[in-house]
């Protein structure tokens, strides 16, 4: 863009404003249009598919231009923001009628992907979070804000933790200090909308003061966040960012809470993805959310997503959710009534944020009223319930009676979208308004009377009174009647066929009407704003209602699913046991063609006799489904939902880890063997006593011997861990692993049974005790439609190999697997014992890489082989 030569005054003003927001796409209001210039215009024309033209810019050559009518802002703005742009909306700050020369303009809002109140940018059933990260040496701070609901949280933790939270909350935008750009990208990838701020904005003192100023507090103890120094720095930066983006009316952000990880089950990002809690892994997949989410309100839908990624660890809260579901299942009439009302409650959480921001339009205020009307009947229903748990919800609801009455008495039942359009406030509220309405209305009526009177007086039958902007009301006389015009009429305009006149009387009335209409508009606007200010006193009450309605909605959703799918109430325990009888997979079950049953299976895990289940079985047998259903049942129970089982005793779990062997998600192109091993290492380094570990085909990304060795040593490690007895399900088709159970008391073998019939495999899907003998891989190949000669040849080769193995190798193969220290006594007498021991002692388990470990394993193997030959 040329800027140095002489520019037009308008472009000069544009350039000055653009210079203040160089990162944003500037929508510059000119008359009835929003215009974009220069590079912004090129970008906007592409995204919005609007015409790109050129505009003369004084002597400073030409500049690209693309614009759209101002009333289409709601259509175009979301497209720009969704394309990842920050959009600065620059409005005219004065009425052009009142100014000579250039109108004052300024940016009234900077919309960014993470900061918007615009319904077209927001997704109703999803939160729209802005995340702020304050990177530290080891501990980082993180804060999330949903401006559209006022939800504000902070926390702190290491890189893994930040990564996991970002995955769980899926923010639309992430801000952080500019010095950490590469660190942020290497931790979180480059798919996010990011924005960098100056370093000083991430200072703790700055953040602490910002938060105290905003909440009008002296310290932050009341919020329970005082200890989270890094979190405070991150949250403070959010408040700064709000100011910078012209979001100044933010009283709905009335509190900040600590996202307390101790309260929730730890799910690493791989687990959230692999268990398909919220999003499916494949486009046509179905996540658990889709099964459990029958919520009616946007607040409920948003809360449901949070409940899914943040299952609880606190028994009392889980029990209270389960108690409500049980009560709802019993009091069916009541829940049906409540459900009917819920379906008519719109997004009061977001509407009330707009009240606080003083940006609610008349139609939205009506929606808020209509939604609030349903609070009272829900409250009455719940207060009349048998169950105390339901009664408590009733107590929490506040029907906001006074606010309802105020809106009801003031606001008309049909209102325009915009408060400046008038016709909003009912008659009888303001005497001046009533008086002016009479004048405006009867004034127009009077003009008609003048028209009729003058027609009669002058005999001009075609006489009519009309209005134009240039000279207001006038009398129009066609040329045929020109000679009948009275002398006192003043001629204003001559047309081809007619002449236009004004009179003294007309001017007096015109003045009266115009002043009345102008005044009317401003009185109505003021009265409307007073109404919004009145409503803003109810922000907290409505926020509490919104939270309560969201919870009721989620619990009702659980109730509906429990009833429809025949789920049972899990019994939650402090014992370290998971005992599921006849468990089912909630998602697969719901998708089976009707009439096809899901075969239920029982699973028991504890820390005394059955800590590790090694589950063998052929491909397609149902091993993965069993592993996943166990985790889903545990997590659903800890969300407070009933579960797909005949009985479930759930000893509270604090961490769930899942790893899927490399080839299971090769399609994603990310599962090299190395990744699989790194991820497995991270499980082994983060275990706890109440962890649930699911390993599916770990080790299959390498050669069979390597695979078996790794799988074997992982199972041993989990069994012999000095501190934790993590409950583990280990699915594999290396049936060689069944041998482990003989040496380790808490390892038990199971297999998902299949039947061989006429050289075919029939999947029974039933979990049985004991190992399995072979893999049935060739049968599956046959089922997959492999050419017959390939299947026959594969069978030939297999029987040849199996014969050989049985003859010489198999015994040796299994027995040659090195035993670990759990069995040291067995070979303490061995001449190679000292050598192996020294080698093991030199190893630093915490720093060794998987590949080095494999090499060492190989070395140990060779030493032991030497022992055999000696």
Ligand X SMILES: Nc1ncnc2c1ncn2[C@@H]1O[C@H](COP(=O)(O)OP(=O)(O)OP(=O)(O)O)[C@@H](O)[C@H]1O
Which residue positions form the known binding site?
617-624
- Report in angstroms how near the CB of residue 766 gets to ligand X at its nearest: 8
- Report in angstroms how near the CB of residue 595 gets to ligand X at its nearest: 12
Q: Which is nearer to ligand X, 145 or 767 (CB)?
A: 767
Residue written as token pair 């109810």: 538
Q: Which is nearer to ligand X, 306 or 766 (CB)?
A: 766
- Report in angstroms how near the CB of residue 290 gets to ligand X at its nearest: 16
- Report in angstroms how near the CB of residue 703 gets to ligand X at its nearest: 18
Q: Which residue is nearest to ligand X (CB)?
A: 622
Running DSSP on this structure, what letter comes out for residue 568? B
Q: For residue 351, give both structure tokens.
A: 């509407």
Q: E-assigned strands of 228-308?
A: 257-258, 266-267
Is residue 366 a contact partner of residue 403, using CB atoms and an 8 Å limit? Answer: no
Is residue 115 a contact partner of residue 244, using CB atoms and an 8 Å limit? Answer: no
Cα gap 425→404, rounded to integer Å:
15
- Report in angstroms how near the CB of residue 733 gets to ligand X at its nearest: 6
- Report in angstroms how near the CB of residue 679 gets to ligand X at its nearest: 18
Rg (CA), the chain: 36
- Report in angstroms how near the CB of residue 696 gets to ligand X at its nearest: 7
Cα gap 334→320, rounded to integer Å:
19
Pairing, β 266-267 against β 464-468: unpaired
Helix (H, G, I), strand (E, B) or coil at 726: coil
φ, ψ of residue 784 in degrees (nearest 5): -75, 0
- Report in angstroms how near the CB of residue 276 gets to ligand X at its nearest: 12
Q: Where are the alpha helices (DSSP H) in 726-787?
A: 740-743, 777-783
Cα gap 48→65, rounded to integer Å:
13
Q: Which is nearer to ligand X, 419 or 633 (CB)?
A: 633
Running DSSP on this structure, what letter comes out for residue 624? H
- Report in angstroms how near the CB of residue 810 gets to ligand X at its nearest: 22
Residue written as token pair 């935008």: 173
Q: Which is nearer to ligand X, 214 or 584 (CB)?
A: 584
Q: Which residues bind ligand X (CB under 6 A)?
A: 588, 598-599, 617, 619-625, 765
Q: Which is nearer to ligand X, 2 or 588 (CB)?
A: 588
Between helices 704-720 and 850-869, what is the axis angle to 10°? 100
Q: Is 771 left (phi over 0), alpha (psi -120 to 50) or beta?
A: beta
List residues forming the annotated binding site for ATP.
617-624
Q: Which is nearer to ligand X, 603 or 605 (CB)?
A: 603
Q: Which is nearer to ligand X, 41 or 615 (CB)?
A: 615
Dihedral sign for Cα atoms in the order 268, 271, 272, 277: negative
Q: Which is nearer to ligand X, 153 or 711 (CB)?
A: 711
Q: How many residues does the chain have?
A: 870
Dihedral sign for Cα atoms in the order 740, 741, 745, 749: positive
Q: How many CB atoms lie within 10 A of CB 99?
A: 11
Q: Is 651 left (phi over 0), alpha (psi -120 to 50) or beta?
A: beta
Q: Which is nearer to ligand X, 296 or 732 (CB)?
A: 732
- Report in angstroms how near the CB of residue 557 gets to ligand X at its nearest: 25
Dihedral sign for Cα atoms in the order 603, 604, 607, 613: negative
Q: Which is nearer to ligand X, 538 or 598 (CB)?
A: 598
Residue written as token pair 């006022």: 150
Residues 6+ apart with CB under 8 A from 245: 109, 110, 111, 112, 115
């Amino acid at each position: 863009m040329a800027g140095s030569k002489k520019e037009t005054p308008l472009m000069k003003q544009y350039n000055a404003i653009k210079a203040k927001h160089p990162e944003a796409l500037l929508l510059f209001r000119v008359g009835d249009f929003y215009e974009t210039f220069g590079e912004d215009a090129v970008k906007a024309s592409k995204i919005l598919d609007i015409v790109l033209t050129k505009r003369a810019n004084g002597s400073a050559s030409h500049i690209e231009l693309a614009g759209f009518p101002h009333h289409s802002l709601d259509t175009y703005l979301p497209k720009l923001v969704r394309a990842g742009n920050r959009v600065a909306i620059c409005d005219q700050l004065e009425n052009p009628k009142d100014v000579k020369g250039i109108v004052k303009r300024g940016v009234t809002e900077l919309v960014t992907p993470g900061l918007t109140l615009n319904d077209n940018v927001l997704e109703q059933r999803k939160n729209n979070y802005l995340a702020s990260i304050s990177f530290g040496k080891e501990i980082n701070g993180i804060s999330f804000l949903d401006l559209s609901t006022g939800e504000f949280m902070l926390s702190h933790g290491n890189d893994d933790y930040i990564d996991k939270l970002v995955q769980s909350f899926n923010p639309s935008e992430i801000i952080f200090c500019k010095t950490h750009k590469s660190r942020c990208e290497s931790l979180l990838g480059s798919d996010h909308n990011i924005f960098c701020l100056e370093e000083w904005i991430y200072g703790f003192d700055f953040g602490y003061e910002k938060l105290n100023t905003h909440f009008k507090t002296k310290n932050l103890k009341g919020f329970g966040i005082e200890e989270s120094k890094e979190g405070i720095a991150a949250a403070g930066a959010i408040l700064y960012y709000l100011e910078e983006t012209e979001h100044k009316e933010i009283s709905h952000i009335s509190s900040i809470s600590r996202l307390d990880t101790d309260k929730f089950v730890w799910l690493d990002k791989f687990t959230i993805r692999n268990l398909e809690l919220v999003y499916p892994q494949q486009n046509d997949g179905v996540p658990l959310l889709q099964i459990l989410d029958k919520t009616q309100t946007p607040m409920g839908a948003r809360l449901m997503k949070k409940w899914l990624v943040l299952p609880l660890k606190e028994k009392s809260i889980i029990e209270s959710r389960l108690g409500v579901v049980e009560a709802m299942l019993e009091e069916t009439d009541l829940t049906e009534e409540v459900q009917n009302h819920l379906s008519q409650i719109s997004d009061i959480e977001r509407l009330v944020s707009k009240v606080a921001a003083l940006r609610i339009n008349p139609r939205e205020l009506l929606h808020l009223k209509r939604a609030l009307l349903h609070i009272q009947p829900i409250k009455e229903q719940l207060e009349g319930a048998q169950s105390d748990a339901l009664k408590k919800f009733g107590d929490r609801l506040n029907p906001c009676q006074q606010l309802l009455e105020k809106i009801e008495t003031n606001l008309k039942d049909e209102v325009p979208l915009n408060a400046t359009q008038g016709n909003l406030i009912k008659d009888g509220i303001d005497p001046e308004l009533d008086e002016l309405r009479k004048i405006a209305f009867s004034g127009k009526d009077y003009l008609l009377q003048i028209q009729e009177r003058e027609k009669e007086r002058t005999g001009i039958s075609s006489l009519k009174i009309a209005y134009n902007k240039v000279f207001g009301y006038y009398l129009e006389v066609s040329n045929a009647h020109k000679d009948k015009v009275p002398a006192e009429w003043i001629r204003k305009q001559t047309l081809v066929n007619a002449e236009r006149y004004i009179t003294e009387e007309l001017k007096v009335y015109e003045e009266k009407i115009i002043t009345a209409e102008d005044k009317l508009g401003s009185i109505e606007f003021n009265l409307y704003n007073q109404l919004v200010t009145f409503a803003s006193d109810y922000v907290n009450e409505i926020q509490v209602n919104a939270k309560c309605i969201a919870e009721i909605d989620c619990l009702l959703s659980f109730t509906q699913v429990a009833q429809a799918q025949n789920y049972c109430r899990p019994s939650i325990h402090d014992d370290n046991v998971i005992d599921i009888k006849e468990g089912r997979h909630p998602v697969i079950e719901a998708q089976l063609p009707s009439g096809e049953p899901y075969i239920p299976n029982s699973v028991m895990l504890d820390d005394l006799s059955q800590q590790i289940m090694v589950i063998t079985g052929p491909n397609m047998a149902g091993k993965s489904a069993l592993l996943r259903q166990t985790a889903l049942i545990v997590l659903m129970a800890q969300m407070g939902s009933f579960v797909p089982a005949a009985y479930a005793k759930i000893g509270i779990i604090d961490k769930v880890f899942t790893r899927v062997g490399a080839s299971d998600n090769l399609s994603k192109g990310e599962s090299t063997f190395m990744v699989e091993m790194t991820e497995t290492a991270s499980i082994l380094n983060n275990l706890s006593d109440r962890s649930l570990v699911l390993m599916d085909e770990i080790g299959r990304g390498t050669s069979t011997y390597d695979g078996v060795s790794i799988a074997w040593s992982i199972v041993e490690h989990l069994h012999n861990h000095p501190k934790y007895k993590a409950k583990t399900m280990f699915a594999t088709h290396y049936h060689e692993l069944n041998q482990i159970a003989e040496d380790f008391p808490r390892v038990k073998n199971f297999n998902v049974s299949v039947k061989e019939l006429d050289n075919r495999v029939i999947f029974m899907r039933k979990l049985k005790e004991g190992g399995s003998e072979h893999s049935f891989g060739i049968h599956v190949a046959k089922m997959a439609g492999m050419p017959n000669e390939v299947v026959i040849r594969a069978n030939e080769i297999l029987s040849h190999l199996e014969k050989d193995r049985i003859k010489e190798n198999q015994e040796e193969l299994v027995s040659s697997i090195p035993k670990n220290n759990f069995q040291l006594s067995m070979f303490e007498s061995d001449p190679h014992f000292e050598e192996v021991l020294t080698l093991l002692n030199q190893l630093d388990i915490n720093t060794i890489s998987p590949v080095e470990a494999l090499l060492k394993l190989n070395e140990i193997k060779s030493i032991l082989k030497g022992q055999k030959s000696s």
